[in-house]
Structure 1
Amino acid sequence: MIKSLTRSLAQFSPAFGDVSHLKHYRQAYKHKNLADRAYLNRIGCLISIIIVTLGIPLDYVVYPEKFVHFAFLRIAEVAFLMAMYAITTLPRVRPYLFLVTAAFTSSVILTVVIIIYQTDGATSTYYAGINLVLLGIGFMLGLTFKEALFYTFLTLASYWAVSAASGIPEGAWRIVINNSYFIFLTGVVANIAAYFSERERFYTFCQEQEIQRKNQELEEMDRLKSEFLANVSHELRTPLTVIVGPAKHLLDTESERLSEQARVVIERIVRNGARLIKLVNDVLEVMSFESGRKQPKFSPLAFDQIVRSTASQLSALFSDANGKSLKVTVSNDVVPVLGSEMQLERVCFNLIQNAFKFSPAKEGEVSVSLMKDDDHAVLTVADNGIGIDPKDHDVIFERYRQADGSQTRRYHGTGIGLALVKEIVSSHGGNIFVQSKLEAGATFTVSLPLCHQDIPAPSVIEDDRSDLLRSAEVDYLNCFKKEVQGSQNNKPLCLVVDDEPDMAAYIRTVLSSDFQVQIACDAFEGQKLFDQLKPSCVISDQMLPGMSGTEFVTWCRRHPHGQTVPIVMLTAKNGPSTKQAAADAGADAFLIKPFDAVELRQSLHYLVRSTTRALSDRPTLVIVEDERDIAAVLMDLLQSSYDIEWVSEGGSAVDVIRKLQPTAILLDHMLPDKDGIDILKELKASKDLRSIPVILLTANTKGNVREQALKLGVDDFLSKPFSGPELTTRLFNLIQRTRLERMLEAKNNDLERAVSDLKASEAQLIHSERWRTLNHFAGGLIHEIGNPLNYALSAARVAASHSSDTVRSEALADATEGLQRIQLMISELRDFLAPTSAHELELKPTPLSKVIQRAAKLNADRLSGVAFSTQGVEVNVLVSESALMHVLGNLIDNALEALLESSAENPRIEIVGKLREKDQHLILSISDNGPGVPSHLGSQVFEPFIHSNKSSGLGLGLSICKTLVEKMGGLIVLEPSQLGATFKLTLPLAQQVLPSSPRGNRDRGSLK
C-alpha cells in the first residue's frame, strides 16, 4: 500500500517515485545520515527536556498529593536526557546512535508509563504523553520506517501493559479502547511521516551529490577550456607574427613598387591579421584572470602619461575623412596610480576603441578626460553614438556577453573588451560604471585610487608583447577607418556637369561613397571630359553656359560611347516642357533641385546596374556579406566571370535580389538586421525568387543551421575559411545545374504543349473520321437500298402497265426480289443496332451439313462457276439454325464477292470441319482463293462499317456474324494467309452438356 501511495505521490516530488537509479549513493548516505541523526537526537533530547520539565507545574495542579514524588521522577529523567545529549555530541558514539535513540526514547516512554500507573491507570489523562512521544518519533528524530514502526508498537504495548498492571475499573474498557485507538492513529501518522521524511532526506542528499559532481565536472571543463584557449592563443601568436610582420614591412618599404591590386590585398592581410592579434591578446588577458595566474607586479605610474600616449596612438583614426573627432582633456598635474602599465594601457585602448566603433560615421565625437577627484583618478570616455539600453548596463561587463549578441547584430565583437576592462579595473582596486540610454551616446567612467608613492624615472617597460603586437592593435582599429573611407579604384566614374561650384561639390559629396566624381563647369568642358573619360553615368544641369542641358544630352546620345550611358537631368527648372525636352533628348531620369540625396544615389545605382546588365551576357551574382574584407575577397575571385552586386546588411537583401533577379546568391548566415536563415525563408516563399540558387556561406558550425537551411531548400554550403577554387567550382556547377534544370523545364513545357496540341488534333481527326464514316455509311445505305428499290419500282410499273399475265407475273417476281433484298439489309442493320439477346436464340442440336447446304442454295446462282466443297461437316452442333445459316450465308457471300472482284483463276470455296475432342467443339474453316483481306485491317474486319473489299455494302455483315456466333457460345476469327481468306468458327458440339443458361461471351475464354 505504501509503495502504491508513493507512486501516486511521485507527481508532487521525485523523492516519492522510483529512486533505484540512486542506490549507489546509499553507502555515502548512511555516513551522512549518522551526522544528521546525531544532530536530530540532540534536538530531540532538548525538546524532551523542555516537555518533561514543563510537566512539573502540571503535576502540581492535577495531582498535588503526588507532586513531590513526580517531581523527583521528572528531575531524574531530565538528568538522564542531559547525559544522552552529552553522549550524542561524541563523534565516536555515532556508529551506535540507534542505541542512544533507543535509550532516551525508552526512558521518556517509561517515565510516562510510571506516571500513568501511579495516577488513574488505564483511565489516566497522562496517556496523551504517549501521543507526544509518537509525534516526536515520526517528525523529529529522523528515524527509518522500521525504527518508527518498532517504537510505535513498543509505545502501544507499554500502554496495554500498564493498563493491565493497574487494573481496568468496571466499565472503563471503553476508555482503554478509545485511548488505544488514538494512540494507534498517532502511530500511523508518525510512521508515514518517518517513511516520507527518510525518502526526502535520501533524495535531497543524492541531488546534492549530483550537483557537486556536475559542478566538479563543469569546473574541470572550464579549466580545460581556459587552458586550451590560453595555449591556442599563445600558439597563434607565432604564425600571426610571421604573417603580419612581413606584410607590414612590405607595405612600409615596397608600397610604391607594388601594383594597386597587390597593395590592396596586403593591406587587407595586415588589417585582418591585426584584428586577430587583438582578439588573441584579449583572450590571453582574460585567461590570465580566469586561471588565477599571478598578476604582474604593480608599481607607481603616471596615469596621465598612459592616457595621453594611448590617445596619441589612436588619434590617426579621427580625421575629417571619416567625419569623427577626438577630444582629449588631461590634467596638467601628475596623476599617480599603483598598477600595471600594460593593463592600464589596455583599459584606455578598449574604451576608446569602443567609443570609436559605436560613434556615428558622420559627426562622430569621442571625448576623453582624466582628472583628480579627492583620492581617486577619474577617467571618462564619452561618445555620441547609438547608446546602450539601461537594462543592458550590467550585461556589457560580463565575459562573452554583448548588448546585442544576436546573429543580426550590426557591430562585430567577442564580448571580451569591456569585461576585460572591468576585471583590470577591479584588480587595481577601482570601479567602472556606465551612463547611457538608447540613441543618446554612452559615457564610461573609471575610478582608480591615487598612489602617494614616488614615481620612478621612465625606463624600458618589461612586457611580453613586441612592438608588432602593440601596433597591430592600432592597425585593427584602423580597419574601421578603412571601412569608412573605402577604395576609389573600382568605383564607376560619374561626370557631373553644373556651372554652380558649390552645387557640384555637394553632388560630389553625396556620391563619393559609391562613385568617382569628375566635375565640368559647363557643357563644352563636359563634352571634352566625356570624350576623354568615357564615364559610366552623367548628371547634367539644364541651364548651362553656352549650351543647354538638353542640347548636351543630345550631343552625348550622338557620341559612340553615349548611346547606352545613363544620363540624369538634375535641374531647378521644373516644367512639363523641360521634362518633355529632356525625355526627347534621351535623358533616363529627371530630378528636381533641391533633390533628395538618397533618391539621387538610388536612381543612379539602378540606371548603372540596368545598363551594365543589358550590355553584358555574364551571369549576375548577389553577395550578401557584412564583412567588407570577405566581400572584397569574394569579388576579387569572381568579378572576372560575374556581374556582382554586394549587399552589406540583411534588411535590404531581399529587395535588392527581387530587383536584380540574379543568376545566383552568395548568402552569409550572420548579418545585421536580418540573418541568412530569415532571408532564405523569404526567398523560398516567393514564387519569383525561389528558383534562384543560394549558397550559404558561414563560419557558424552549429548543426542546426545546416538542418534549418536544408529544410528551407538551400542549394549548397560553404564554411569559412573557404577555398577559392572550391568556391568558384561549386558556384559554376550550381549555375550550370540550374540552367540545365530550367532548360529541362522549358523542354517539358514544350512537350506538354505538343501533347496537348496532339490530343486536340487527334480529337479533331476522330471527329472528322466519324463524319467520313457516317457519310460513307449513308452513301452505301442509299446505294444499297436505291438499286433494289429502283429495280422493284420498275418491275412494279411493268406489272401495272402490261396486259400479259406472264410478263406481269415475272415483273411481280422481280419486284418481290428487290423488296426482299431491301428487307434483308434492314434486318442486318436492325441486328447491328439492336442485336438479338442470348436468351432469344434457341440453341438446339442441328445438322451442320444441312445448314451449309441451305446457305449455299441462297447463293446457288453465283456458285455455278466456283468449285464448292465440304469436308468433315457431318456432325450435329448446338446452335440456332437460322442464326448459323445467316453467318454461313454472309461468309459464302463475302467469299463470292472477293472471287468476282479478283477474277481469280479456278475459283474455289472450301468448308472443312475438324473436331476438338478435348472440349467437345468443332473448328469450321471457310476458305477461298481470292485476294484475301488487306494486312492493315487484321482483326478490324469484325468492326462495324469496315469493308474488306471494294464492295459498296454497309460493312455490317461480319460484325453481325461475330455477334451471332458469340451469342451461340462460339468464336469467329480471321486466320492470316498468304492467299485468299480463311475464317474459322469454333462451335459447340451437340453432345456437350449445356449449363442452365447460356454463358454468352464468358465462354470465349475456353475456346482459345
Structure 2
Amino acid sequence: MNSEDGFGFLPQRGEMAARVRAHDWAAMPLGSPQSWPQSLRNAASLMLGSRFPIIIWWGDDFRLIYNDAYIPFLGTSKHPKALGQAGAQCWSEIWDDIGPMLEGVLRTGQATWSTDARYFFDRELPQEEVFVTFTYGPILADDGITVQGVFCPCTDTTEKIVSRRRLETLHRLGIRTLDMRSAKDAGEKVCAVLDENPYDVPFAIIYECQAPPDAGSADIAPPAFQLLCSTGMDTDLAADPAPWPLAQAVQSGQPANVDLAQLGLTLPGGPWPEPSRLARIVPVRWSGDGQASGVLVLGVSPRRPLDAEYCAFLDMVASHTGGVVAHAVAYEQEARRARALAEVDRAKTVFFSNVSHELRTPLTLILGPLDDALREHGGHLPPDQAQMVHRNALRLQKLVNALLDFARIEAGRMQASYEPTDLARATAELASVFRSAMEQAGLRLRVDCPPLQGPVYVDQDMYEKIVLNLLSNAFKFTLQGEIAVALHDAGPAVELSVSDTGSGIAPQHLPHLFQRFHRIPGKPARTHEGTGIGLALVQELVRLHGGTITVTSTEGEGSRFTVRLPKGSAHLPAEQVNPIASPSTPPPPGHGAGAPAARQLVDETRQWVPGESPTHAPHAPHGVPAGAEPQGPRPRIVCADDNADMRGYIGQLLRPLYEVEVAGDGRAALDCIRRQRPDLVIADVMMPVLDGFELLHALRSDEATRSIPVIMLSARAGQEAQVEGLRAGADDYLVKPFSARELLARVASLLQLERVREQAHAALRANERRLRAIIDQMPAGVGVSDMGGTMVLSNALMDRFVPRAIPSTLADRVQRWRGWDDKGRPIPPENWPGRRALRGEVVMPGLEMLHTDDEGREWWMRVSAAPLRDDGGQLVGTCSVIQDITELKRAEQHLREADRRKDEFLATLAHELRNPLAPISHGLQILKRTVHGDDSARRSQEMLERQVNHMVRMVDDLLEVSRITTGKVQLRKEVVDLNNVLQGVAAASHAVMESGGHQLRLELPAETLLLPADPVRLAQMVTNLLNNAAKYTDPGGHVVLAAWAEGAQAVISVRDDGIGIPAALLDRIFDMFMQVDRGGRRGQGGLGIGLTLVRSLVEMHGGSVQALSEGPGQGSELRLRLPLPAHAPADASAHAPADVPSLPGPAAGAQSGDAPAFGRILVVDDNTDAADTLSMLLGLLGAEVEIARDGHGALAMHDAFRPDVVLLDIGLPGMDGLEVARRIRARQGRDQVLLIALTGWGQEDDLRRSREAGMDHHLVKPVSFDTLERLLRSLRTSA
C-alpha cells in the first residue's frame, strides 16, 4: 500500500499500525485518513513508531488512537475495540478524573502531567489498582494556535509503587524488638505491622498449632488450632478456626489459595468497600523440629490480581512471621531456663547460707571455750563447757553426715543393706525417744504402731533417719497441740504417717516441699536452724526403699506426711538384701545402732524449748575475778539467738560485767526491749518468728528504741554480708566463729560510743532549748525549712502566719500572700524570698508582702530569707524571718496623707497670698505709668515693688521645696554653656545687687564649659546663691561669681565678704529653715529654704554643694560641683540651649498713647481689686476691656462682648475657670479666642489641667505687667 491510499504516514510494522489501516474510519467522526490534518498524521506516525506507551486523544470527544505498547493498559476487556472510541466511553471508570484534565489542555493549550497517580481500571478486575505516570501535551493545528488533540506518553508504575509498599512491610517485619517476650507478643507485633498495609493484606490471622502431627504416623488425630492474634477483622470471627482448611495446609506443608465465597465467609477488603474474594493459607514454622508450628491466613486485596509476585510477597510475610515468632519463642525458652537456673542458684545460695550458719554456730561454741581454756585455764575445760563443746561437735558430725549422705544419693553411690525388720516396734521405740522433749514443750505425743503382717525389708539406719527427720520436723513447726505417729498395713505395703497440729503449709509451697534447699520463709517455728535438705533426704531415702512419700496440709491447722513402703524384697536390688537377720530379735530400745543418733537429735531439739538453755556457772573471762562488777549501774544487754548453747555462752561471757537478758527469737527479744530499754542489743541474723533484720527494722522504726546500738551475729562471712547488715542499721556486724575477747571488746566499744553519743545528744538538746528560747523571744517570726519547703523549726509568730499543723499548698500560699516590685507589678511565687533562698540567694533586708489571715484581715510583713548550708557548703534549707510592719505601713499612709494635705495647704496658701499681691502689683504698675512725682515717691514705689517681688519669691521657693521633696520635679536636661548661663544670671541679679549697695564681679574661664543640665534650674540655683550672698553681706560689700573646671567637674563659686558662717553651722547651713543669726537678730527675713532648694536641685543633677567659711566676720564661699560629660562636643554652638524667644517689649521712648490697640479683652476674676486694677492697666495700653465676676457672667459677657483675649482666673465661685474655658472652646472652637489663665494656682497639676481645659497660656499671680504686655504684643503681632 502506497501513499496514495492515505496511509503512507503509518509505519509498515506493528499490530496497531495494521489495525489503523484496517479500521473503518469513514463511519467515524475522524473520517478517512485522507482527510486527517497534517498534525494528526504527524502525531500518529510518531506514536505508532514508538515503543513507549502513547495514546492520542483527538477531537472534542477525545477519540482514542494508541500504539502497541499501550495495549496492556487496556487489557483484553477494552482492546481492540477501544480504537477510535470516545474517551468517556472507553475510560468511563476514570473519566471523572482525567476528563477535566484533557478538556483543560484542549481549552488552554497548556500541558499537564501526573506522577504515580492511582487509578482503578476495569481490566483484570472490575476495579484494579493501577499507578500511572503520564503527561498531556497539546497537538496544535497548522495555524499553531488551535488545539485539535492531546498527545499522551504514559508508563505503568504499579509494580514500582506496590513493590516499594510491600518491601516496607517486609522490612518492618524483619526488625527484631527486645519487647517481644513470647509468641503472643511476636504475633501482635506482626499483626501491628500488617495493619499498616491494608492495601496488600486486608486481614491476617495467626493460628498456633497445639499438637503438630507426626509425618510418619497416619493414625494421629488432626491437630488443634488456637488463635494467636489477628488484625483487620472481628476477633470473635477470627477465633474460630473451623471454616479454614488449616489441617490440610499443615499436613501438606504448602501454601494454598482459598475462595472465601466457597468457604461461606465475607471478610473485609481493607480500605476498599468491596469484600476480599481470596485468601492465602501458609504454614509457618517457628520451632526447631522442622514441623509447622502454626498457620498464617492472609487476605488478598479485592483490587489487586493474585499473580505470582503477590503470592511470593504473602509467602515472604509468612516466612518473616515465622522468624519473628521463633525469635520470641527462643527468648521465652531462654528466659525460662534463666529463671530455673536463677531459682536453683537462689536455693543454692540459701542452702549455703544456712549451712554456713549451721557450721559456724557450733564452731563458735567449740572454738570459743577452747580458746578461753588455752589462754586462761591451762587447757582445762570446766565440765559444763566440755559438755557444750561435745554437743556441738556431735551436731557438726550429724550435719556433715547428712551432707555426705545426700551427695552419695545424688551420685548413686549410696550403699544400703535391707534386712527384715519389725517396723512397728522400731517405729514405736524411735518415737518414744521424743516423748520427754515433747512433754517439756507442752505437746502430746500419740503413737499407734500395731504389729504388721509379714516382714518389711529396710535399711535400719536409713529408716531411722526417715523417722527422726519427720519427727524433728513436726516438733520444729508445732508450737502447741499434738504429734501423732502411726504405722499400719496397707495391703502389699505399709504406711507410716507423721501428723501434727502445727502451722501447716501454704498450697503454693506443697509442690516444692521435697526439693533441695527449699525453705518456707516467715513460717512460725521453734528455731530458724536447718539446711533445707532434711525432707529432700527423706524423699531420696524412701525412693531407695522403692516407696513414696506424700504430704497433705491445711495452713494454720497442721500437716500429715505419709510414707508408703512395699513389703517383701522383690522390689529391692538382690545384692543389697540380707535375709539372714531375724526381725523378731531387734536390739533393745536405747541400745540399737541408731540410739546415739536419736538421743543426740533429741538433745538438740530439747534446746529449742524455751527455758531449756544449758546452765553455766559464770566464769569471768580474761582475768576478771568472779563477782567483780563495775562501779555504778551495770549496763543492760539483751541477747537474742535461737540456739540455746549460743545464748548460754554469750550470757556466760557478759554477765560478770553487765546485766544480761536472753531471748530465743526476735519477737521475745522485742518484748524484752519494749518492757525495759536496754543499753545494747546482740541479735542473731537467722531466728524464728522474727529474724535479726526484722528485729532491727522494728527497733529503728520506733522512736523510743531507734538509738539503741545493735550488734548483729551472722554465719555469713564476706564484705557484702557485712555491708548489708550495716546498711540495714546495725552498729556492728560480728561473723561466727568469734572469740570471747572480740565479743567483749566490741560490746565495750559500742557502749562507750553510746555514752559519748548520749552526751553529744544531751548537749545538742541543750543547744536546741537555748535556740528555741531565743527565737521564741524574738519580736519577729522565725522559721527554718528544709529543701522541700517543710518548716522544721519555728516560733509562735511564724506559726501564726505560716501554720505547721496544717500543711499549706502553693495555691493556698499564693492566695494568702502577695508581693509587688518597685513598679507595682506582682511578684510571682518563684521569686518570693523563700524560693530565692532555696536557689542560694540572700534576700535582705527583705520584701514587703501583704498577708490575708483566715478572718480576712490584712497584715503587712517584711519577709527576708537566707540559705542554710552544711560544713561542705551544700544547701540544706533556708531561714526565713517575717516582721509585722502593719503599724509602720499605717504610719506611712498617715504621713503620705499629711504630706498630701501639706501640699494642698501650701498650694492654697500660695493662691491666697498671690491673689492680694496681684492688685498691689497692678496698683504699683498704674502709679508707675501714670504718676510722675518726686524722688521720694519713686523710691517708695521701688520699695513696694521690691517687697512684692520678695513675697513672690518666698511663695515660689516654699512651693518648689515641697515639689522637690515629694519627687514632683523633673529635670529637662540639655547641653548648656555655663558661661552664658552665669552671665545671664548676673545680668538678672544686677538690680538686686545694686539696691543693696553690693559690687558683683564675674570671674569666668576663657574656655567654654559645656555640661548637661536643666538651664532653668541651674540659673535658679545660682540666683539663690547670689541672693543669699547679698542677704548676708553689708552694703558696700563684694560678691564674686566664679566658675572653673576641676577634673571631671565644673565648679561654680559664690564668694562674699559678709558676716561669715560659724564652724558649727557649716554642715547645717543647707538644712530646711536654717538661718545664720546676725548678732541676736535675724537676717533680712526669709524662710530659710533657699539653700535647701539649692542642695536638692544640685543633687538631682548628680552634683554637690559645699559651704566654706573661716568664721564669723570672715565672709563665706558656697561652691556647686556639677559633673562634666566624658567627651565634650567639639562644636559648642551646636549644643547651645534653644532659648525661648524673648517677648518684644515696648519700643524705646514709646508713650502709652502710642501703644497699638490690643483689641477686646475680657478680664474674669472674683477679686474686685485685682480685676479693676488689671482692667485699668490694660486700658492704659489702649485695649477695650470688660470685666466678669464669675463663671456664668464670663460666658454671658463672652457671647455679648466677643473678646479677642480672655484673662481667666481659675478659682471662681460656682463655675470655675476651667469649666468656663471648656464651654468657651465648645462654643467657638479652639481658633476663635485666646484663653490665658491668670491664677494663684501654679503647681504642675494646675498647668496640666489648664492645658486640658483649652487654655493657651497659664500665668501665675502676681504677673509682671511687663511680661503680660510683651505676651499680648507678641500675640497681636503674630495675629
Q: Which has the larger radius of gyration?
A: 2
* Structure with the larger helix share: 1
* Structure with the larger strand share: 2
